[in-house]
Amino acid sequence: MVKAYAAKVLDFAIKRGYIQTNPFAHVDMPTASFRKTNATDEDEAENFYTREQLIEFLTCLEQESNYKAYALFRLLAFSGMRKGEALALTWNDLNFTTKELRINKALSRGKDNKLYIKSTKTGTARTINMDDKTMAILKVWKKKQKQDYFKLGFNTLQPKQLIFSNEHNEYMQPTKTRKWIVHIQDK
């Protein structure tokens, strides 16, 4: 309530030419966290794959023609990073020699549903050591991305090239991953 009122005041200031941008456009409000009062731990639905389900899911995904989805879900499963962090990654964040991945930003949704880059949830950068197979999959994806996007007219050798981008070589919509999951589950 207070944020909405303050944002309106600053929008008015923009209209009058006192300021250029509204800083409230980039404020993420915390979501309400609560537990069902009468629910026991057994009653709550599990929202994760077991080890066996994950292996089956990744195996099915590997057989699909969408290598980008396979690389993304493999990375998420074996790094523990958040989806928004993965969607903000650039190739410069990945070191194939040391097998390290630096996480220092995340994709978020702001005013008018626009995607933007923000700091990580904790506000601190971290480096993750990756396994050989995930690194090999990412290396294949990098080569495939270069070929696929060249056909679309994009040079993916730019310094800030996203690892996972849409067909316009821009930020991928976070909701896209859910569609990929449902597609594989249905099959």
pLDDT reported for residue 162: 95
pLDDT reported for residue 117: 85
Per-residue pLDDT of the chain (187 residues; tens, 9 = 90+): 677 777 788 878 888 888 888 787 777 777 655 554 554 555 466 777 889 989 999 998 899 889 999 999 999 999 999 999 999 999 999 999 999 999 999 998 888 888 988 887 877 889 999 999 999 999 999 999 999 999 999 989 888 999 999 999 999 999 999 999 898 888 8
CA dist 146 and 155 (Å) reads 7
pLDDT reported for residue 1: 64
Domains, in order of start, for the chain: 1-27 (no CATH), 51-186 (1.10.443.10)
* 187 touches 120 (CB < 8 A): no
Name the residue among 182, 177, 186, 178 with its Cα closest to residue 72: 177
Q: Are strands 106-109 and 94-95 parallel, antiparallel or unpaired?
A: unpaired
pLDDT reported for residue 105: 92
pLDDT reported for residue 45: 67
CA dist 94 and 75 (Å) reads 12
pLDDT reported for residue 34: 52
CB contact set of 15 (below 8 Å; sequence gap of 6+): none
3-class SS of residue 184? helix
pLDDT reported for residue 41: 53
